[in-house]
Chain A
Amino acid sequence: MSEKMIIIGSGPAGLTAAIYAARAGLEPLMVEGMERGGQLMITTDVENFPGFPDGVMGPDLMEQIRKQAERFGTRIITSNVSEVDFSERPFKVWVGKDLYEADSIIISTGASARWLGVPGEKQLTGYGVSACATCDGFFFRDKELIVVGGGDSAMEEALFLTKFASKVTVVHRRDEFRASTIMSDRVLKHPKIEVIWNAEVAEVYGDTVVQGVKLKSRTDGEVVDFATDGVFVAIGHDPNTKIFVDKLELDEDGYIVTEPGRTETTVEGVYAAGDVTDKVYRQAITAAGLGCQAALDAERWLESHH
Chain B
Amino acid sequence: MGQHTMTVTQGDFASAIQSDTPTLVDFWAEWCGPCKMMNGPLEELAEENTGKLNIAKLNIDENPGVASAHSVMSIPTMIVFQNGEEKRRLIGARSKSQLAAELAEFTN
List chain A positions with a Cβ less than 8 A from chain B: 34-37, 41-42, 59, 78-80, 96, 125-128, 130, 134-136, 138-140, 208-209, 230
Contacts and interface: CB of A to CB of B under 8 A. Distances in A.
29 contacts: A34-B93, A34-B94, A34-B95, A35-B34, A35-B37, A35-B93, A41-B33, A42-B33, A59-B33, A78-B37, A79-B95, A80-B95, A96-B97, A126-B73, A126-B74, A126-B92, A127-B71, A127-B74, A130-B73, A130-B74, A134-B31, A135-B74, A136-B73, A136-B74, A138-B60, A139-B67, A139-B73, A209-B71, A209-B73
Contacts of A128: 73
Interface string B63-89: 000011001111101000000000000
Given A127-B71, A135-B75, A139-B74, 13 more contacts: A34-B93, A34-B94, A35-B37, A79-B95, A96-B97, A125-B91, A126-B73, A127-B74, A135-B32, A135-B74, A139-B68, A139-B72, A230-B73
A96 B26 CA distance: 25
Interface of B: 29, 31-34, 37, 40, 60, 67-68, 71-75, 77, 91-95, 97
A81 B94 CA distance: 14
A135 B71 contact: no
4 closest cross-chain pairs (CB), A and B: A126-B91, A126-B74, A139-B73, A41-B33
B37 to A, nearest CB: 6
Nearest to B35: A135
Nearest to A125: B91
Contacts of A208: 71
Contacts of B74: 125-127, 130, 135-136, 139
Contacts of B71: 127, 208-209
Contacts of A209: 71, 73
Contacts of A136: 73-75
A126 B95 contact: no
Among A78, A138, A209, max chain B CB count under 10 A is at: A138
B8 to A, nearest CB: 19
A138 B59 CA distance: 13
Among B68, B73, B93, B94, max chain A CB count under 10 A is at: B73
Among A125, A135, A230, max chain B CB count under 10 A is at: A135
B95 A135 contact: no
A41 B37 CA distance: 12
Contacts of B77: 126
Nearest to A58: B33
Contacts of A41: 33-34
Nearest to B98: A34
B37 A34 contact: yes
A37 B60 CA distance: 24
B95 A138 contact: no
